[in-house]
């Protein structure tokens, strides 16, 4: 299978379109009332004018391309001290705006290719993907542990390889292996059961989506996993009648929808299959009247926008041939795929919910600090960054925070506990399950 994944050399012209203006430093909202706040976690932690901020990484890309920079420990460290959250990209208005995260990931791919990346702690992920097909070093049999309470309640989850179903629930590694996150697939399956949906999972046969490998620059591991998944999806459609793939994980959603599309066979392999995040899936059922939330949840909550379900799904409009402005000009964007309004609409539909917004929301959302391999490579920094988000949530007067990403769920909860906050992060499905009555 051929892949259209750009090398750093292919960004030669793009990296020189950064003027180091510093717009990527702050999230702006003209209001009313107007405000600005930091948007780059690395810049916030290590000094924006230093070498680890977003514009500093573009300078590194130039140096690597020109040959003026050679790999050393400090350079590799700087490239991996980034969440690849896209906050800088959201703010930039220059012609290299559509490509900033890709440039950073291309540098990481070059680091891995040259044998200097990823960081030592992150290499465990690569080893685990090779040995277990997941980043958690978990045996395949553990993938089903989250289903035990459902089985005990007389609602076992169907193995889609044995019993056909039109809906494949792609659980994701975090929901399966990270014990606190098992509440998310449990709530999701509970909702599906209450709605009488015919769904199943791959159980022990599910593989990682490959997002972690892609973010770390391990392109060989990503392609191996992605190709296996695409072949499985095709088989499930042709032999088991799967028409919809639903994922709880924002990272899985972004990977299957966006990263996999770089394969030349993507269109053929995914023909007749819809990939959707559970938020979009439930919102469709809500607007059609099939999802009726009637049980009150009397909470004051704030909502955190995950990077992978938000600005990472932005489509950028580029004048490729110069017919609108000039060749390569950034013209505009389309954020209709970004899950900004739909989770909020579902939250507001729950009786008793009092939604209180933080200062930085939607495209200006501040990263939880866990993405881009940071939670594995720099766990202390990941938790410190998450504490900033928890504090911002507390400023709203909310009791709890809600999101739609298991990674955010875990990192923010860990940080909240570490700083002694009573604020707990819930997945949106957990609240919807609370508000949804049992099927009569």
- Going from the C-alpha of 24 to that of each of 42, 93, 265, 368, the distances in angstroms are 12, 9, 35, 18
* pLDDT tens digits along 401-422: 999 999 999 999 999 999 999 9
Q: Provide the pLDDT for residue 226.
A: 98
Place of tokens 């501040």: 366
Confidence class for position 16, pLDDT limits 50, 70, 90: very high
Whether pLDDT at 437 is above 90: yes
- Going from the C-alpha of 262 to that of each of 3, 259, 278, 347, the distances in angstroms are 6, 6, 23, 34
Single out the residue of 174, 237, 228 nearest to residue 205, CA to CA: 228
Q: Tell me 49's DSSP state.
A: T
What is the mean predicted confidence (pLDDT) over 291-297? 97
Of 17-21, 54-58, 231-235, which gets the smallest average pLDDT?
54-58
Confidence class for position 49, pLDDT limits 50, 70, 90: low
Q: Provide the pLDDT for residue 22.
A: 86
Please name every residue paired with 170 in a beta bridge, in sequence order, or none if there are none.
247
Whether pLDDT at 332 is above 90: yes
Percentage of the residues of the chain whose pLDDT score is greater than 70:
99
Q: Provide the pLDDT for residue 196.
A: 96
- Fold classified for 130-287: Rossmann fold (3.40.50)
Write out the two tokens for 416: 């909240």
Confidence class for position 50, pLDDT limits 50, 70, 90: low
Q: Which phi and psi angles does 133 have, rounded to 5°?
A: 60, 25
| Dist. CA 392–CA 399, nearest whole Å | 12
Q: Is 155 helix (H, G, I), strand (E, B) or coil?
A: coil
Angle at 235 between CA 234 and CA 238, to 5 degrees: 85
Whether pLDDT at 440 is above 70: no
Domain 1-117: which CATH class? mainly alpha
Residue 352 φ/ψ region, left for φ over 0, alpha for ψ in the -120 to 50 degree band, beta for the rest: left
Q: Which phi and psi angles does 244 have, rounded to 5°?
A: -135, 135
* pLDDT tens digits along 207-236: 999 999 999 999 999 999 999 999 999 999
Mean pLDDT of all residues belonging to the chain: 95
- Going from the C-alpha of 277 to that of each of 85, 332, 339, the distances in angstroms are 19, 25, 9
288 CB burial (10 A radius; 0-12, 13-18, 19+): exposed
Place of tokens 């980034």: 82
Single out the residue of 257, 237, 232, 395 nearest to residue 313, CA to CA: 257
Instruction: Please state the domain extents for the chain.
Output: 1-117, 130-287
């Amino acid at each position: 299978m051929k892949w259209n994944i750009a090398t750093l050399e292919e960004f030669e012209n793009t990296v020189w379109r950064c003027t180091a203006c510093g717009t990527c430093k702050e999230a702006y909202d003209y209001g009313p009332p107007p405000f600005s706040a930091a948007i780059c976690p690395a810049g916030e932690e290590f000094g924006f004018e230093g070498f680890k901020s977003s514009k500093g990484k573009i300078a590194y890309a130039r140096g690597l391309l020109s040959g003026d920079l050679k790999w050393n420990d400090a350079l590799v460290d700087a490239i991996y001290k980034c969440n690849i959250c896209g906050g800088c990209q959201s703010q930039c208005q220059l012609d290299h705006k559509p490509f900033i995260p890709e440039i950073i990931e291309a540098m990481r791919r070059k680091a891995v290719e040259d044998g200097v990346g990823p960081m030592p702690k992150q290499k465990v992920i690569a080893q685990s993907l090779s040995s277990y097909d997941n980043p958690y070093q978990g045996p395949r049999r553990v993938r089903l542990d989250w289903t035990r309470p459902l089985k005990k309640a007389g609602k076992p989850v169907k193995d889609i390889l044995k019993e056909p179903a039109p809906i494949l629930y792609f659980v994701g590694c975090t929901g399966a292996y990270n014990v606190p996150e098992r509440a998310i697939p449990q709530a999701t399956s509970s909702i599906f059961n209450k709605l009488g949906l015919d769904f199943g999972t791959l159980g022990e046969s599910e593989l990682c989506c490959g997002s972690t490998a892609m973010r770390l620059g391990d392109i060989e591991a990503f392609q191996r996993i992605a190709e296996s998944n695409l072949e499985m999806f095709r088989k499930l459609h042709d032999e088991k009648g799967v028409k919809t793939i639903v994922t709880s994980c924002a990272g899985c959603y972004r990977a299957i929808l966006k990263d996999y599309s770089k394969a030349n066979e993507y269109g053929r392999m995914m023909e007749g299959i819809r990939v959707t995040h559970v938020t979009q899936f439930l919102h469709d059922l809500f607007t059609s009247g099939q999802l009726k939330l009637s049980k009150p949840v009397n909470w004051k909550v704030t909502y955190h926008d995950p990077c992978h379900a938000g600005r990472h799904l932005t489509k950028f409009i580029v004048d490729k041939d110069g017919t609108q402005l000039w060749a390569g000009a950034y013209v505009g964007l389309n954020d209709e795929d970004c899950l900004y309004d739909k989770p909020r609409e579902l939250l507001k539909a729950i009786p008793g919910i009092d939604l209180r917004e933080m200062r930085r929301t939607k495209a200006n959302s501040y990263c939880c600090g866990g993405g881009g391999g940071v939670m594995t490579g720099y766990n202390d920094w990941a938790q410190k960054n998450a504490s900033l988000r928890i504090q911002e949530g507390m400023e709203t007067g909310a009791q709890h925070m809600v999101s739609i990403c298991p990674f955010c769920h875990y990192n923010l909860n860990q940080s909240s506990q570490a700083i002694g906050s009573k604020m707990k992060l819930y997945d949106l499905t957990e609240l919807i399950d609370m508000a949804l009555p049992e099927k009569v």
